[in-house]
Amino acid sequence: LVAECGSNVPTSRLAELAHREYQSGDFEAAERHCMQLWRQEPDNTGVLLLLSSIHFQCRRLDRSAHFSTLAIKQNSMLAEAYSNLGNVYKERGQLQEAIEHYRHALRLKPDFIDGYINLAAALVAAGDMEGAVQAYVSALQYNPPSTKSNVLACYLKAIETQPNFAVAWSNLGCVFNAQGEIWLAIHHFEKAVTLDPNFLDAYINLGNVLKEARIFDRAVAGYLRALSLSPNHAVVHGNLACVYYEQGLIDLAIDTYRRAIELQPHFPDAYCNLANALKEKGNVSEAEECYNTALRLCPTHADSLNNLANIKREQGNIEDAVQLYRKALEVFPEFAAAHSNLASVLQQQGKLQEALMHYKEAIRSPDFPDAYCNLAHFLSSPQIVCDWTDYDERMKKLVSIVADQLDKNRLPSVHPHHSMLYPLSHGFRKAIAERHGNLCLDKINALHKPAFEYPKDLKASAGRLRVGYVSSDFGNHPTSHLMQSIPGMHNSDKFEVFCYALSPDDNTNFRVKVVAEHFRVKIKILSLPSHLPCNGKAADRIHQDGLHILVNMNGYTKGARNELFALRPAPIQCMWLGYPGTSGAPFMDYIVSDKETSPFEVAEQYSEKLAYMPHTFFIGDHANMFPHLKKKAVIDFKSNGHIFDNRIVLNGIDLKAFLDSLPDVKVVKMKCSIGESGAAETNGALSMPVIPMNTAAEAIINMINQGQIQVTINGFTVSNGLATTQLNNKAATGEEVPRTIVVTTRSQYGLPEDSIVYCNFNQLYKIDPPTLQMWANILKRVPNSVLWLLRFPAVGEPNIQQYAQNFGLPGSRIIFSPVAPKEEHVRRGQLADVCLDTPLCNGHTTGMDVLWAGTPMVTMPGETLASRVAASQLQCLGCPELIAHTRQEYEDVAVKLGCDMEYLKMIRSRVWKQRICSPLFNTKQYTMDLEKLYLQMWERHASGGKPDHLVKLQPVESSESA
């Protein structure tokens, strides 16, 4: 937006932006653009009206009145300005002044419908019911004729003739409710029961509309009054139970649903709603029974079919779920929730076109905004990636939906983990997370568990701090690839470590590594799914271990059980590593981060207190998983004096011994820094072995060209880097270290030998149109260059190719490769010259992968945690010159690396050196820093202090390098 809204932006564009931001609830941005527009066009009354409305929405009434007055000075015939001024007076309680301004607005503009509605509301507040009715009638005169309008006119006429006619007031409330005028409906129902205190239907209608408006306390009062008039009214009991359910009073809701069923045994709605409440309590089998009962009573009960399908889906019975969703749609073809649910299942099954069809059917319902957000995410998802059709309009609508849901205190359709992918404000992202955090609290409140008592000191643990790590990713997952060594590196004299797995054992070495540390560092690992699926019992079990700190490694990622943390089984709870954002939850005390990823000036973006690591909060276990990539040798296949470090690369644990067996191997010095004069310095240069074109080199190249799996040279096994899975599957997954000399070449992936290769190995959904535009600009400025991406997934390839062509870049300049096993994925990163990071959501694990391969990464930190991780990694690595702060700077840095070969060699050498020398991959030092942070958290708690920002952490004395 900074570039988009500079001084040269047309005023029409500024006005469009301001209106769009106003509609989405981003009043701060709307005001900023309005002020920019006003400075350019001081006589623009439209912008004055919008500024007046913005300040009114923000309850800055004086400022709102100021801009309305300025608009009137510019144009004394501007009815909207007088109406806006009337709104200010009405909000202040100055009803007569408000009424006068509304009436003046209507004299200026007799067909001003909003003016009549505003006047009517002010007259109602002033007690002038006759005047209010007349204002309603006048508004109807300027509306297109419709049945509802005619009905409304009849009821208004009846009230005008007989103001104490309660039935007319109630019926008028029904009409307003049908038109979506909730507040007018509430007023008319309240007037009806005031006129007739025994008017049963009016109380029921009042309760219903208050329930719709989520004014639950008053809805309960309305229903209870109705039950005092008719104690055995089953439908009212059912509606009252629905309100209790929404309030989180699950037990009371269940009892009230049962009473409704007792009064009316053939009541499928009550059985369905009872099932919902039982499922919320965790009584899934009883809930399933109730859904089935509802379907026996009414085989076409669509809600029961849909909800029963949800249970089947959660149980893994996908085919039954699909059949039930389809049956629900046969009964009710416009059932948006069933369309959306079925689409989600079909998406997971890979039936993408049918899934898309059902998502599109779901969005036909204006009352189901979840469907639109689901569709938007589907179109940016890993399956249907980079479909940017109507991208701007789609994002605009998504933001407006979220704004409306937050305004109505509803659970937003956008999931917290997806919020970073959309142009939402920080406030919106935090609010989305808060809603989900509060949902966890609602669920655990239904358990009615008493608060836990915590250890007050370290006596029970023999002076050791007990730390528990909770994750669903203890297995073959990127999170384990990053941190699998950390639990075992804790100082066992000062720490006792517990690991709580939220997923079954996948029988990989990643899980085994954590379990194996039990014998050395006294780590205890407990698989919660197999032992304690109930959140309450699982929290009890965690609490029994007497933890001091419980670490949430999931956040809102797949497999999370945040309800465990909502029950607070430990006195200190913190977020760490696995989730790139705030929890928004009051039960999470700290988030482990760093000053680059989470600058202190944006601390308000987080519900947690910031706890800084001294270098970076991110870590990778690459030095332990891939030690064979610490060294490399290359083949001088051209023999023309130009040595390339990334055309034909050899790695291996036994690389030195292999090289010693070959004749004529020479060593080239790779310079790592630039002196003050601008010349490359040899001080601290790295040594790179170079194999000349001899018999051994020819044998290796022939192996690659002929697609052989391996060859034996001087007693050493040299393997084709594409064949790791065939030779040792555990080495391919990163569970073991390859025992051969592994060869990786550009020719294996169809990469040109004489070109600059830019790469990005992220999932394609992290690419957005501005990012692809930058990449296209870079490649156009570096003519002899290509972009190397992954088919991650393959369906995204044609979309990327098409949009690249739209940006003026031939499709041949982008080369795609399939997704590879972990070890190959990391190793082949050596072949690229430069990695171009995705600013929207950085490569986190992927960033560590490419840096361990020795390839420089250009990044541009944004405003979210997810967009700043790569900058943190590069700062820790000691390569800040690779961090850009504008799109132009990003392009310039990448272009310099692509055009200045000496500079590129120097940067590549520095990255290669610093991955070993810097703290970035030093898991031992990282663990020591993390321990110091944990101790600070505990010391503050033990002294009676509340959690507070821990941002002055000093690094511990450096341990040995990775």
How many Cα atoms within 13 Å fall on the side-chain side of residue 941?
21
User: Residues 187, 188, 377, 417: which is the catalytic one?
Assistant: 417
> Which region holds residue 546: left if phi is over 0, alpha if psi is between -120 and 50, else beta?
left
* 419 closest CA partner among 373, 368, 371, 478: 373
Q: Residue 501 — φ and ψ, nearest 5°?
A: -85, 130
Q: Residue 466 — φ and ψ, nearest 5°?
A: -95, 120
* Strands (E) located in 812-866: 814-818, 834-836, 857-858
* 577 closest CA partner among 608, 547, 620, 609: 620
What is the three-class DSSP state of 56?
A: helix
Helix axes 284-297, 302-314, angle to 10 degrees: 150
> Using an 8 Å Cβ cutoff, are 661 and 717 in contact?
no
Give the contacts of 47 (CB within 8 A, at least 6 positions apart).
15, 18, 34, 37, 38, 41
Helix axes 166-178, 200-212, angle to 10 degrees: 30
Question: What does each C-alpha distance from 531 to 496, 538, 549, 913 come to in angstroms?
Answer: 22, 8, 22, 46
How many Cα atoms within 13 Å fall on the side-chain side of residue 656?
4
Give the contacts of 526 (CB within 8 A, at least 6 positions apart).
498, 499, 500, 501, 541
Q: What is the 3-state secondary structure (H, E, C) of 79-114?
A: HHHHHHHHHHHHHHCCHHHHHHHHHHHHHHCCCCHH
As a whole number of angstroms, the distance between CA 5 and CA 39 comes to 14
- Write the DSSP symbol of residue 747: G
Annotated active-site residue 417? The verdict is yes
Label the pairing between strands 633-635 and 686-691. parallel
**ω into 110 cis (within 30 of 0):** no
Q: What is the 3-state secondary structure (H, E, C) of 582-631?
A: CCCCCCCCEEEECCCCCCHHHHHHCCCEEEECCCCCCCCCHHHHCHHHCC
Length of the chain, in residues: 962
Give the contacts of 608 (CB within 8 A, at least 6 positions apart).
574, 575, 582, 583, 588, 589, 590, 591, 947
Q: How far is CA 429 from the centre of its chain?
A: 8
- Catalytic residue set: 417
